[in-house]
Structure 1
């Protein structure tokens, strides 16, 4: 098979071959659990008619090559083609033939804009006792939550939901509640400017709110990545700062993001994860300082 033929492989068949079955459908396509990360509720959407996918949890999307990149970690599209062919048990042209063909007709990722699946979006002040309790259980008090977050009511899969919303620079929202972690597109960073020469960097907005509770922000500017996949979008605005303080997760993705920023900005980048070395992230550390009080009756 050549590159064009591989691109036409059905994403649904590819996912089925990998062992992933749809969990539901809507008017535009099928829902799956994301095949390259863990999640409690499916937020990975495939549009079979256009043969494109979109992950509402990370904001990533594209064609079968983009999915192969996420699954395999390979950046070279010819290696992505090998990965697809191996999983689909298909023959491919030799490396030299594919290199020659790609030189004549270089691969270009399919431009992708997900058709909105969220419907009837309404944004209002965050007053929901349920959502405020969810944040309180994670150590975030009401006054901090209401300063930076809103209530987002929306319809998804034909059902009505509501969630905490945290707006990004493209006017999309990160969405959180007890059962759902996702986003309303477009996906982007959130840049909070206070006119400071120092900037804090967080992976997600819950960690940013945790830093507010702990007093770590203290008038500094802030960039919330809203996913490490947005790291490139943060490069340009971070170039204006003399000190970049990173409160990233203590995992492989967080360390990779830190390394990316250090390659770009060198000694201007400070790793603040030493403040919570035995915890996954800053919010996990905050919750250890203020554990939830049990509501169970003692017998």
Structure 2
């Protein structure tokens, strides 16, 4: 078995062969008790569409070859391939998963991109519908215009440290250019002792809007830097930026992925981590709290 053959084996079928079955399935995401360690709540996710896995408890993931290496005690690739072949290489298991060609990302077809200061009334109205202060929106967001299939569109654009943009309007959510985290210092050229961590930029803007109206239930009254993950999939990149902070305040979603992410960060940085989602218990995220939209 070579690498490409191993990657074409469906991870869900492979895990079933080993006796591991999903605790629950949601939108092609299979959640398991980790096969790499003992746990009582599922933190191991398989994206069945992409045929990739991620262990939130260990902050590791990849394809089946990488999983095979971990199951073999971090052996070589050749050892992992032999292990996968022994497990998946008989006729009783539908061994080869024929992967569909990945859909072409819509961003690849965007043309004539133009980034300008935020001023379009429709985008400001969208922020208002999310109860985000307009001045805060203008301070941290841009306005991006682009052509797609001979039609003109525009959206909010929130920059990241790799020069990419998280892009959002009322109908679309995506990323243009490189996917990465966004780091916003309290003072340029100076690192604070505390940092606030958010999953998406709408939560970051919600926090600043709450801070502006002096909401002490959620906000903390100390100077902080801010880090926006722009996806829990950016956990590895996030961890590197958190290393130098004495206190890490996590304002992540009140869902399984958010809580597992906090647990992973706490496992690495211990008592420096504060799970601030308890401040908005009963709400999915900070923006829902700002809007009064309960679970």
What interval of TM-score do these two structures reach, taking the shorter chain for normalisation? 0.5 to 0.7
8 Å Cα contact 1:165-1:176 kept in structure 2 = yes
Counterpart Cα distance in 2 of 1:250 and 1:66: 25
Q: Residues 76, 118 of structure 1: CA spacing in aligned structure 2 closer, same or farther, 3 A cutoff?
A: closer
In structure 1, the partner of 2:92 is: none
In structure 1, the partner of 2:85 is: 98
8 Å Cα contact 1:166-1:205 kept in structure 2 = yes
In structure 2, the partner of 1:105 is: none
8 Å Cα contact 1:68-1:80 kept in structure 2 = no
TM-score by length of 1: 0.63
In structure 1, the partner of 2:196 is: 200
8 Å Cα contact 2:156-2:168 kept in structure 1 = yes
Spell out the pairing of 1:1-299 with structure 2 (5 A cutoff).
3-5=3-5, 7=7, 36=28, 67-70=50-53, 77=64, 96=83, 98=85, 116-194=108-186, 195-215=191-211, 216=219, 219-288=223-292
Q: Which runs of 5+ in 2 are unaligned?
A: 10-26, 30-46, 69-80, 88-104, 212-218
Q: Residues 250, 135 of structure 1: CA spacing in aligned structure 2 closer, same or farther, 3 A cutoff?
A: same
8 Å Cα contact 2:7-2:64 kept in structure 1 = no
Counterpart Cα distance in 1 of 2:63 and 2:28: 18
SS in structure 2 of the partner of residue 67 of structure 1: coil
SS in structure 1 of the partner of residue 52 of structure 2: helix
8 Å Cα contact 1:7-1:65 kept in structure 2 = no
Q: Which runs of 5+ in 1 are unaligned?
A: 10-34, 38-63, 82-93, 101-113, 290-299
* RMSD, aligned α-carbons: 3.6
Counterpart Cα distance in 2 of 1:119 and 1:202: 30
TM-score by length of 2: 0.64
Counterpart Cα distance in 2 of 1:119 and 1:70: 33
How many residues in Structure 1 have an aligned counterpart in Structure 2?
217
Q: Residues 97, 120 of structure 1: CA spacing in aligned structure 2 closer, same or farther, 3 A cutoff?
A: closer
How big is the shift at 1:4? 2.8
SS in structure 2 of the partner of residue 182 of structure 1: strand
Show structure 1 runs of 4+ deviating over 4 A.
6-9, 70-76, 78-81, 94-97
Q: Which string of whole-angstrom CA distances, capped at 9 and with x for unpartnered residues, describes residues 76-134 of structure 1?
A: 615989xxxxxxxxxxxx9757269xxxxxxxxxxxxx894332110001111111011
Q: Which string of whole-angstrom CA distances, capped at 9 and with x for unpartnered residues, describes residues 1-44 of structure 1?
A: 754346579xxxxxxxxxxxxxxxxxxxxxxxxx647xxxxxxx
8 Å Cα contact 1:72-1:80 kept in structure 2 = no
8 Å Cα contact 1:78-1:98 kept in structure 2 = no
